[in-house]
Homo-oligomer: A and B are copies of this chain.
């Protein structure tokens, strides 16, 4: 399996990206293709000592910076690391692509180069909001700030495939995130989406509330990307203030290293997105890592891409989306 890694994207690129790639190259049959400025990457690889590892470089002469307008940047820099990396997938030279670079640029390039699946208006991000609920994934977590009911139906279909193939849940339950559990509660989007999900043939169990998210009450929770994003980030913030509060409360009561272990575990439980997020609805596998990822997070993002390749997600999602009968 070959994974193309944009080595120029992220706050700590290229050094930490190369280090992270070196950590996982060769494991589980993973071959890594680093995309970026050849001379720079060669030096980074030398530092790491990579001899014998299945690591290669494909040159990309340009880099898209974080502040740039994605569409303009792609036109001006067709040979930047992001589009070059994504083209590797399109051309069958890689099975998946991982980037810690500008989310907007990755999304726009991926839509243009790989294409979207039938009925998808814009790719979506899905994953855990908090790890307290290891069997609950939320779709969308960001890219689709404004949604139509058809988008939520797509998220439900995609989420069900992901829950089956990644979480290994046979008949995953699907719920709509709402401000009330009863049918009929919700904003206009939720009210319009409810009957669509009910008739979808998915294992739809109705609405869940914010309170239900950490309790594994549904395997797939669908919502617009604005809601998903504020929840994901609120979880991070609440995890951090809770950790600080706890340290003050327990100061002098526990050995330092135990306190540190508890803090670290709470951080990991409430920062699920640190490991990077897969993007769905594209005709190819794309994982966007966290901009501030260090080598261990880069390694995890590559690991996520590997899992998605192994699960062979795209053909299944394509099939399920194509089955939907929906009139706009």
Number of copies: 2
Write the chain B residue with the least CB distance to A231: B234
- Which residues on the B side are within 8 Å of A213 (C-beta)? 234, 237-238
The 8 A CB mask of A219-258 against B (1 = contact, 0 = none) is 0000111110111111111111110011001000110000
Centre residue among A142, A238, A239 by max chain B CB count within 10 A: A238
When chains A and B are docked, how far (Å) is the Cα of A133 from the Cα of B186? 27
- For the complex, is A71 an interface residue (Cβ under 8 Å from B)? no
- Which residues on the B side are within 8 Å of A133 (C-beta)? 241
Main secondary structure, interface of A, reads: helix
Which residues of A in the span 251-297 have a Cβ within 8 Å of any Cβ on B? 253-254, 262, 265-266, 269-270
User: Could you list 23 A-B pairs, sorted by A, with CB under 8 Å?
Assistant: A133-B241, A142-B179, A145-B179, A145-B186, A178-B230, A179-B225, A179-B229, A179-B233, A187-B224, A187-B226, A210-B229, A210-B230, A210-B231, A210-B235, A211-B237, A212-B237, A214-B234, A215-B241, A223-B230, A234-B235, A238-B239, A242-B266, A253-B254
Chain A residues in contact with chain B, CB under 8 A? 130, 132-133, 142, 145-146, 177-179, 186-188, 190, 209-215, 223-227, 229-242, 245-246, 249, 253-254, 262, 265-266, 269-270
Contacts A145-B186, A210-B234 supplied; 7 other A-B pairs, CB < 8 Å:
A209-B229, A210-B230, A230-B231, A231-B231, A234-B235, A245-B266, A253-B253
